């Protein structure tokens, strides 16, 4: 079960780094959550920093043992984690707006967005043993109660901007773990078609013509999905479908 147990820390450089340190000395059971009130050297994708105000947001790592997944299908885990985080945001907004929630989605590969603003990010690290995934650390950052952000963050938003009041972080953590647990069980039960369908339909720009940049050059395309390796598939106006690794193509987001 996700969130059994929870290690609650006042301050740490990075929850993923802390989990790696503990694993180097022994073992952590699957579902263990490392939760820090302050993460002063948080990491995002490709060594980018995750900047979060102390005591205002969720910064955590979930320890997983997905040995049932071959390494070449590890992006399925990314889908489950991303969808779990998105489910948490959607449920939180549904409690406020009912069925008329703001537009939400996943900016490939695993940033969580409300409209054109980023509310969460994910960093997954894998330890591969032979031909299986031995241990995966799913680092998750979710903006909950932070109102003001550093100007170096281009498009942030928090749940408090929609709730207009703070949400208890422990309550948010329990809800997030529940949503994550539901998606991870789908992965364990090999409900991969459902995960594929839900992930594709949650992608920002799925089946929509929109602008991207490729090597700094503007291009128009339509996202048709991702392949088994997690590469983004974009159809051009010429009918050609091109696959992209992370950072090879960028969304052009409006204001």
Give which of 80, 75, 78, 82 is closest to 142, Cα–Cα: 82
Q: 222 and 166, same structural domain? A: no
End-to-end Cα distance, the chain? 39
Note the pLDDT of residue 50. 56
Give the residue ranges of DSSP H helices in 156-246. Answer: 160-163, 169-188, 192-202
Q: 165 and 114, same structural domain? A: yes
Number of compact structural domains in the chain: 2
Q: Which of 163, 185, 202 is the last residue of a domain?
A: 202
Q: 226 and 133, same structural domain? A: no
Contact 155, 117 (CB under 8 A): yes
Per-residue pLDDT tens, the chain, 255 aa: give them.
Answer: 899 999 999 999 999 999 999 999 988 999 999 999 998 875 554 445 557 788 999 999 999 999 999 999 999 999 999 999 999 999 999 988 888 899 999 999 999 999 999 999 999 999 998 888 999 999 999 999 999 998 888 899 999 999 999 999 999 999 999 999 999 999 999 999 999 999 999 999 999 999 999 988 999 999 999 999 999 999 999 999 999 999 899 999 865
Q: 99 and 220, same structural domain? A: no
Contact 93, 105 (CB under 8 A): no
Note the pLDDT of residue 43. 56
Judge whether 44 lies within some domain: yes
Three-state SS at 148: coil
Q: 148 and 30, same structural domain? A: yes
Note the pLDDT of residue 46. 43
CATH of the domain at 89: 3.30.930.10
- Cis link prior to 11 (omega < 30° from 0)? no
Note the pLDDT of residue 201. 97
Domain that holds residue 232: 209-251
Judge whether 1 lies within some domain: no
Give which of 125, 104, 129, 107 is closest to 115, Cα–Cα: 104
Q: 243 and 162, same structural domain? A: no
Contacts 24+ apart (CB under 8 A), 109-115: 109/45, 109/75, 109/78, 109/82, 109/226, 109/230, 109/232, 109/246, 110/78, 110/81, 110/82, 110/85, 112/82, 112/85, 112/86, 112/142, 113/204, 114/89, 114/157, 114/162, 115/157
Q: 61 and 115, same structural domain? A: yes
Note the pLDDT of residue 151. 83
Q: Which of 161, 176, 202 is the last residue of a domain?
A: 202
* Residues 6 or more apart in contact with residue 16 via CB below 8 angstroms: 43, 61, 123, 125, 137, 139
CATH of the domain at 214: 2.30.30.100
Q: 142 and 235, same structural domain? A: no
């Amino acid at each position: 079960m996700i969130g059994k147990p929870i290690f609650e820390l006042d301050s740490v450089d990075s929850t993923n780094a802390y989990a790696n340190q503990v694993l180097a000395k022994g073992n952590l059971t699957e579902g263990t959550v490392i939760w820090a009130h302050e993460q002063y050297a948080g990491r995002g994708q490709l060594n980018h920093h995750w900047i979060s105000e102390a005591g205002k947001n969720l910064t955590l790592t979930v320890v997983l043992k997905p040995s049932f997944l071959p390494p070449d299908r590890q992006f399925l885990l990314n889908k489950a984690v991303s969808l779990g985080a998105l489910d948490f945001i959607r449920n939180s907004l549904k409690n406020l707006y009912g069925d008329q929630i703001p537009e939400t989605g996943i900016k490939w590969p695993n940033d969580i967005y409300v409209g054109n603003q980023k509310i969460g990010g994910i960093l997954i690290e894998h330890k591969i043993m032979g031909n299986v995934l031995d241990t995966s650390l799913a680092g998750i950052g979710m903006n909950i109660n932070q109102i003001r952000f550093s100007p170096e963050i281009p498009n942030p938003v928090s749940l408090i901007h929609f709730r207009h009041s703070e949400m208890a972080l422990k309550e948010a953590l329990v809800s997030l773990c529940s949503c994550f647990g539901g998606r991870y069980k789908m992965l364990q039960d090999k409900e991969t078609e459902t995960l594929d369908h839900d992930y594709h339909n949650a992608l920002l720009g799925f089946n929509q013509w929109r602008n991207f940049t490729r090597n700094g050059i503007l291009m128009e395309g339509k996202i048709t999905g991702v392949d088994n390796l997690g590469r983004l598939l974009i159809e051009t106006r010429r009918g050609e479908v091109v696959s992209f690794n992370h950072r090879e193509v960028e969304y052009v987001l409006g204001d």
